[in-house]
Structures are given as C-alpha cells and as structure tokens.
Amino acid sequence: MFLYVVLCFLDFVSHTNAATLSFERNKQSVDFVGFFWQITDIHYDGNYSISGVPTNMCHQSTSKLNNGTKLGIYGDFLCDSPWQLVTSAIEGMRANNAEPDFIIWTGDSIPHVNNSELDRTEVFKIIGNVTRKLAEVFPNISIFPVLGNHDPYPANQMPPGSDGYYGGILKNSHWENILDSDQQTQFNNGGYYSSYIQSNLRLLALNTNLYYQLDTLVKDMEDPAGQLAWFEKQLIDCRSKKEKAYVISHVPPGAFERLARMSWFYPQFNQQYLKIIADYSDIIIGQFYGHEHTDSFRLLIDQHDEAINTMFLSPAVTPWKSTLPGVGANNPSIRLYSYIKETGVVIDYKQYYLNLTEANSLHKADWKLEYQATEAFNIPDLSPTSLDRLSESFRDNDYMFNKYLVINTVGYDTNPQCNSTCKRNQICAIRQLNLDRYADCISGRRDTTFRPVLTTHHHHGKPDRKPVPRYMFYIIGSMAGVILLLTILFAVLCFNRGKRRRVPFKYGRFAGPIN
C-alpha cells in the first residue's frame, strides 16, 4: 500500500520532470555543448630522417658503415616527431573538429636530445614552428599554451621568475601572436597567466615545471615565481565573482602510474599544490595535464575518502619510447573534450590517435577515434564520483582494467601483461596523489587504494560521533508525523486518479499486478 502510494507520487512528479529532462537533453545536443582540443608533448625533432638510425633518435647516420634503416615518414617508436607527424596531428585536429571553442596546448615541443645539441635560439625556433602551424590551421580559434619541462634551455631548468627566457618565448616563439597583452604581461613573471574562456569560466594556465624535481633552480625556494600565491589569489577571486576555473599545465602532481615511487613534484610543492586544489575543489571544474605521454587520469581523494576532483592526463603526439625501464611507447594522439557551455562542466572526451605502423605502411595519416571516455568505460559522465567508481572497479574487473591498460599506451601495447605489482602501481598512482598515502599504498602497508570497510573506517578515518542531541528526536518525530499525513493525503488522491489513469509500465513493473 505504502509502496503503491510512493510509486503513484513518483508518477505524478515525473510528468513535470520528464519535460524538464528532455529539454535538458535537447539543450545539450544543440549548441549547449562546447568542444575543445588538447594537444601535448609534440617533441618535434627537425633532425628526424627516414634514413636515420633508430638508436640515434632517427637522426641521419653519421657512420658510413650503416646505410640507415628505412624509417616511417610519420615517425618511429624509438624517435621523436618528424615535422610530417606534427603537421599531420594538427591537421588531424581540423579534420575531426575544425571549430572548437578553443585549444589547449600543454607543452614539451623540444625533442629528447642532449643539451649540447641545442641552445636557446634553437629552442625558441622549434616552439615557434609549432606555434605557427597551430595558428595557421586554426586562425580564428583561441590557443592557450603552457610550457613543458623540455621547453627551457637547458632542459628542466625553468627560471623561477622574470627572465629573458619568457620574453624570448613570447617574441621568438610567436606566443605574442596567440596571447593578448594582459596575458603576456602575466606570462613574463614566470610562465603563467589567466584568461577567460567565457564570462563565468576562468582559465588558469600554470607553469608546474617550477615544481618538477629536475628543476635545480627552484630547489630551496618557498614559492617559485610567486605562482602558488597567485594561483590561490585567482581562485579566491573566482569564488567571490562566482566563477569556475579550468587549470591547464604540463607536469601533473602525484606519481607516474607505470613505475613505482616515481613522483614528479618536489614533495613540499606536491603538498602545497594539492592543498590549493582541495581547498578550491568547488571552483576548479577541470584540470588538464600532459608530460607522461600515457593516457591516464588522477583523482584527488580527501581525508574522508571522498573523490573531490579529477585531473585528465592526455597522451602525447610523439611516439617516442621512454628511456625509463619498462615504460614503453605510445601511438600519437590528440584529444577532444566536450563540456556544457553554460556551466563549464566537462562531460566527455574523444581520444583520437594515429596508428603509426599503419600510417607508415600506407603512407597516409588517418587520425581515427580510439575511444570515447563515457562509452569505453561505461560511465555516465566524467565526474569525480564516476571516475572514483571506475578506478575502484579496476581491482576486480579484469575486462575494464585491461581495456584501460591498452588505452594507457594508446594501443601501442594491445596485449598488456600486468601482474599484481604493475596493477598496484597503476591504481595507487591514480588514486593517491598525497605522497605519504601513495607510499603506503605502493608498499602495501596500508590498503589505501580502496575504500576501507566501514568498521575500520570509523576507527581511523573519522572522529568519534558526538551524541545525538535530544531536540533531534523531536524534529525526526514531527517529520515522521508529516510524512504519515502526506501518505494518507496522496493515498486518497491516488485512488481517485487510479480510476482514470493506469500506472505506467515502468512503475508497474515494480509495483506488481496493479491491473
């Protein structure tokens, strides 16, 4: 009886809701959904040669003894991107969506060569080559760039403050053509700036290379280039103006998922950075990084084991096989996100890729859809809650975890072998950005990877409950009374309605034989 009344009530309400919902859906399918591209880790190598030697980064063989292997025109898994691959990737973006709302370009345009082979002028030129091509293919689209750890000279030595380097990037790498004058002024202070995507959505373009452990210039600094203070100030401003924010940067916080105990930031910066993200997780509704070359994501999980924010890690354009042991290579990739324009909420992304082997053998670059996130992972959206459930499911759902592993290398490894150590590395990196918790997770000292069972949770996680005050009983008592009255009221209403209308099938299914 009570169930019937509830179902009838739901039916009643659903008529108004159904109309709103279908409106929402229509809204999203027309121009209420926006799109933007992410391109990252291009690592353009001007010395790539199809007659080069793979063990020498595919550079022209210097030894007359070696006649040179015939390498692919689009590149090789042992090498960085030839120009042909760079242009192909940017044209692949245009082929798959020529009119994005904007483009984020998250750094690392310089090849993985020794410092001795480069200088600042060369670095500016290489980045400038990529800037030109992007601006040429997308002349009327906002391009938001950030620097990668390979982009300064010498590599990784990002200057912590105003320096000729930043001015050089603006001038000689042509960023003055894609950033407005206000952004340029900010950028000159340390490679970071803010912009507006739309009136209620701010873009915070950070230079997290300043926290990277290989940057020796920042080692003993408290706040390199004053960026942390600036970051927080921007977020405070967003909060007071009721704006949301996207964060774009190159190096992500946390650890690498393909190796144990390899974190990127200096520990103190990792902690400070995460604290800001956590404190403003209601403002930050999207975070986009590169650097790892692999396809992954991160969840910021608070001390109550609540997933409160997501970081998207987009894979690289360069197919280059990492020199780190066991890390591997990847197919070249570009990524298209979709978001609700009104709110800025990221709802999905499509990962496009170039099958490098196939492109080289066909002499034709066909940038295809690799997967669409919500569909491949069978999740309703990309909210922290959904990605929390997904990453938890990796423990027991071999099918889904395996799918993720193939995606992790952009299909370079189509039959990944991942034992329990490898699996732990993956899941701990995704779910534990705090380095202490990450270390506990990796060592297995504490199973922080997965939500603890309730009983232990009360001991460790949350403070003891306070006794329930007496007035709460009165409140609950009177609410129960109101619910009882409402039930009777709706029972009367429903029985009258029931004479005229049938309960729709979808509720009838649960309610048993009504008719």
Ligand X SMILES: *[C@@H]1O[C@H](CO)[C@@H](O)[C@H](O)[C@H]1NC(C)=O
Tokens 């034989």 belong to residue: 513
Q: What are 141's two structure tokens?
A: 């689209």
Which residues, numbered 410-449, are part of the site for ligand X (CB under 6 A)?
411, 414, 419-422
Binder of ligand X out of 82, 100, 107, 111 (CB under 6 A) = 111
CB distance 195 to 234 below 8 Å:
no
Binding at 272: pick from ligand X, Zn ion, none (beta carbon under 5-8 Å per type): none
Q: How far is CA 453 from the centre of its chain?
A: 29
Binding at 111: pick from Zn ion, ligand X, none (beta carbon under 5-8 Å per type): ligand X
CB of 363 to ligand X, least distance (A): 13
Asked if residue 174 binds Zn ion (CB under 5 A), the reply is: no
Which residues, numbered 310-369, are part of the site for Zn ion (CB under 5 A)?
none
Binding at 128: pick from ligand X, Zn ion, none (beta carbon under 5-8 Å per type): ligand X
Residues 130 and 173: their CA atoms lie apart, in Å, by: 9
Binder of ligand X out of 26, 51, 67, 303 (CB under 6 A) = 67
Considering beta carbons, is residue 11 or 295 the nearer one to ligand X? 295
Residues 342 and 361: their CA atoms lie apart, in Å, by: 44
Considering beta carbons, is residue 125 or 389 the nearer one to ligand X? 125
Size of the site for ligand X (CB under 6 A): 26
Asked if residue 125 binds ligand X (CB under 6 A), the reply is: yes
CB distance 294 to 257 below 8 Å:
yes
Binder of Zn ion out of 174, 291, 335, 350 (CB under 5 A) = 291
Asked if residue 357 binds ligand X (CB under 6 A), the reply is: yes
Q: Is the dihedral of CA 406, 412, 415, 417 positive or negative?
A: negative
Residue 270's SS3 state is helix
Considering beta carbons, is residue 16 or 420 the nearer one to ligand X? 420
Task: List residues bridging with 171 in a β-sheet.
Answer: none
Asked if residue 129 binds ligand X (CB under 6 A), the reply is: yes
Q: What are 12's two structure tokens?
A: 């009643």
Binding at 148: pick from Zn ion, ligand X, none (beta carbon under 5-8 Å per type): Zn ion
Binding at 149: pick from Zn ion, ligand X, none (beta carbon under 5-8 Å per type): Zn ion
Distances (CA, A) of 209 to 150, 192, 291, 370: 9, 11, 10, 29
CB of 151 to Zn ion, least distance (A): 9
Distances (CA, A) of 66 to 48, 360, 406: 16, 22, 35
Q: Residue 414: which residues within 8 A CB-CB, separation 6 or more?
A: 406
Residue 350's SS3 state is strand
Torsion (CA) 110, 115, 119, 122 in degrees, nearest 10: -30
Binding at 47: pick from Zn ion, ligand X, none (beta carbon under 5-8 Å per type): ligand X
Q: What are 161's two structure tokens?
A: 């403050």
Asked if residue 108 binds Zn ion (CB under 5 A), the reply is: yes
CB of 257 to ligand X, least distance (A): 15
List of residues contacting Zn ion (CB under 5 A): 41, 108, 148-149, 291
Binding site for ligand X (CB under 6 A): 46-47, 57, 65-67, 83, 111, 113-114, 117-118, 125, 128-129, 139-140, 355, 357-358, 411, 414, 419-422
